[in-house]
Structure formats: structure tokens, C-alpha cells
Amino acid sequence: MPFSVKMDSIVTRITLFALAALASGCAEDPPEFSGGLYFAAGNYLAELDLRNGDTRVIASIGDDTIVELAPQGDERLLLTVFGEVNRQDVHSLVLFDLASKQQLRFFAGRKGRYLPDTDVLVYDEGRQILVKRREGNTWETIEVASHDYRVSVEIIPIAATSFLYAIGDDPARIFDLSTATSTVPGLAEHCTLDGAVWASALDGLLCRGSEEPGVYILVSLDGEVMETLALPEERPFTAVAYAADQDIVILTERWQSLVSERPQYAIWVHHRNTKETYRLVENQHLGNTVVYRP
């Protein structure tokens, strides 16, 4: 068989396989969604339009790299950035005002999160998780937990007075400002906090199931599995947001191409009401965190 014919046959088989895999479990003709996602792209803050997948740049923050972002009310974002401060490369927390584009650098730290509808700040200082809240003109500091340097940390706000956290491979725990730390054995039995999203309107955590890592489930703090999302099988999804006003879960997919060494990305939307999942846009990387805007 001539080489060119053989290659055409291989490409055809690969194409047919890819189309079959894409069609499996995926809905066609997605409905029109609304709102957008703020996300980080190097030293730029950008926004993706959920109506059509278009993106636009919001602002540049200078020489620092945006590592993560989280909401602070409806008008500000809390950025975790990495860059040089006093001739040292460090992680810092920066408050960004969406209207004025002004920036206010807070503390050295990472994983910054505000508890919903409050000025209570939770973050990882490097060797311990801290809570800071204003008392008049000063900051009150609460030490939550200590850990080794550079260990992975996850922090997920769930209410105005409480948040979930996990250190390294340890099971998830909950910290409440009035009762301090306690365990959540039921939830920890079913999932970890890596790639998890708190859905306050559903009063549950969207997370990868520990028994089936490729499956996303909705779990209450008591450990009740309330729902298993009907997602296309065998795809490496990561949930990044839940939009309560549309009852949709927004996910990213990362895979390795057969013809390129660079990883490939796609953004998906799962509609809980219809159980349908739609690939919204390809070739778009959102980073580790996003903030949904209705």
C-alpha cells in the first residue's frame, strides 16, 4: 500500500474515532446561556462570554502573574498573584476593583478567599491557614491550621461564618468562626476538595467521587450523595463554577492531542435540569479558578 494512502486511512480512522467520542454523551445545538466568567491569563484579567465563548481583556495587573481569583462581593475580585516584591518572588493577595481597575495589595499569601457577603478574609500564609477580619482600624488574626511549607492547600467558603479546607492528602475539615475546627467525615468519605465547587443554592459540594474519580457528585456536608451528574464518560472534567440562576455547572476539560505535545483545553456546560452537556468552546484555557458573573 502506498504511504500516502496508508496515512489517509489512519487519519480517517482517527477522525471517525474522535467524532464518535465527541458525539457520545454530548448534546447538540446548545441553548443560549448568559453571563460570563472572569479568568486569569498570565498578567491579564480576562472575561469569557457564556453566550458565544468570546473573550475580552479586562485589565493588565503589571508584571505579576495572576495565579487565582475569587469574588469579593459583586464589584471586586481578590487575586492571588506571583511576582517580585522587595527583590523576592512571592505570592501576594491583591484586591481588584472592576469598575475603577484600581488595585490594592494586601498580604503575602495565596489561596485568598472572602467568606460570602463579608469582609472576612481566609488565606494560606505559607505555613498556616489564617483568618483575618477587621476590628475597627485593625485586623484580628485567627490561626486555623499549620502545615509544612509548599504543601498543597484547598480553601472553599461555604457560608458567612464557615469554610471547608484541606491540607495535603488529609481529609477535608470545616472551620466555623464560632465553633472552630471540626471534621466532616461523611463528606470526606465521598470526595476531596481538589476540583470541587460549593453550590450554595443546592446546599452541597460538587466534587469528584472518590469511588469513581471521573464522576462528579453533589454531596451535602453530612455526607449524603444527593446527585450524580450525567456527564459524558471518560473525560477528564474539572468543575470550575456553578451558576445558580441558570442551574448549570461549568467544567473544563484537558487532554493530550495525538498530533501535538501541547495540552488541549475545552469548556463545557452541564444543565442539571435537562441532564444535557454541551461543549461551549475549544482551545481556551481558564486557569485554576474562575468567577461567574450573571
Please indicate, yes or no, if residue 191 is contained in any of the structural domains.
Answer: no
Residues 6+ apart with CB under 8 A from 274: 27
- Separation of alpha carbons 92 and 90, rounded Å: 6
Q: What is the mean pLDDT of the chain?
A: 88
* Residue 167, pLDDT above cutoff 70: yes
- Separation of alpha carbons 49 and 69, rounded Å: 17
- Separation of alpha carbons 71 and 60, rounded Å: 18
More confident site: 122 or 13: 122
Half-sphere exposure of 55 (CA within 13 A, CB side): 18
- Separation of alpha carbons 287 and 278, rounded Å: 20
- pLDDT, residue 88, reads 85
* Residue 5, pLDDT above cutoff 50: no
Please indicate, yes or no, if residue 105 is contained in any of the structural domains.
Answer: yes
Provide mean pLDDT across the span 174-192: 90
Helix (H/G/I), strand (E/B), else coil: 13: helix
Please indicate, yes or no, if residue 154 is contained in any of the structural domains.
Answer: yes
Q: Dump pLDDT digits (tens) for 197-207.
A: 999 999 999 99
Q: Dump pLDDT digits (tens) for 205-254.
A: 999 988 776 799 999 999 999 999 999 988 899 999 999 999 999 999 99
Please indicate, yes or no, if residue 216 is contained in any of the structural domains.
Answer: no
Please indicate, yes or no, if residue 83 is contained in any of the structural domains.
Answer: yes
Please indicate, yes or no, if residue 100 is contained in any of the structural domains.
Answer: yes
Please indicate, yes or no, if residue 212 is contained in any of the structural domains.
Answer: no
Helix (H/G/I), strand (E/B), else coil: 11: helix
Asked if 207 and 217 touch (Cβ cutoff 8 Å), the reply is yes
* Residue 149, pLDDT above cutoff 80: yes
Asked if 229 and 239 touch (Cβ cutoff 8 Å), the reply is no
Q: Dump pLDDT digits (tens) for 64-88.
A: 999 999 999 999 999 999 998 888 8
- pLDDT, residue 26, reads 59
* Residue 24, pLDDT above cutoff 50: no
| Residue 188 main-chain phi, psi, to 5 deg | -60, -25
Percent of the chain with pLDDT over 90: 73
**Three-state SS letters, 59-113:** EECCCCEEEEEEEECCCEEEEEEEEEECCEEEEEEEEEECCCCCEEEEEECEEEE
Helix (H/G/I), strand (E/B), else coil: 137: coil
How many CB atoms sit inside 10 A of residue 83's CB? 18
Global pTM value: 0.88
- pLDDT, residue 28, reads 62
| Dihedral Cα 101, 107, 111, 113, nearest 10 deg | -70
- pLDDT, residue 27, reads 58
Q: Dump pLDDT digits (tens) for 93-144.
A: 999 999 999 999 888 999 999 999 999 999 999 999 999 998 888 889 999 9
∠ Cα 59 76 251 (to 5°):
80
pLDDT band at 91 (very low <50, low <70, confident <90, very high): very high
- Separation of alpha carbons 65 and 79, rounded Å: 10
Instruction: Please name every residue paired with 204 in a beta bridge, in sequence order, or none if there are none.
Output: 199
Please indicate, yes or no, if residue 175 is contained in any of the structural domains.
Answer: yes
**Domain containing 65: what range?**
61-183
Q: Is 108 exposed, middle or buried (0-12, 13-18, 19+ CB in 10 A)?
A: middle
Helices (H), the chain: 3-23, 185-190
Helix (H/G/I), strand (E/B), else coil: 183: strand
User: CA dist 8 to 12, 13, 14, Å?
Assistant: 6, 9, 10
The CATH code of the domain that includes 137 is 2.130.10.10
Q: Dump pLDDT digits (tens) for 29-77.
A: 678 899 999 999 999 999 999 999 999 999 999 999 999 999 999 999 9
- pLDDT, residue 22, reads 43
Q: How many domains does the chain have?
A: 1
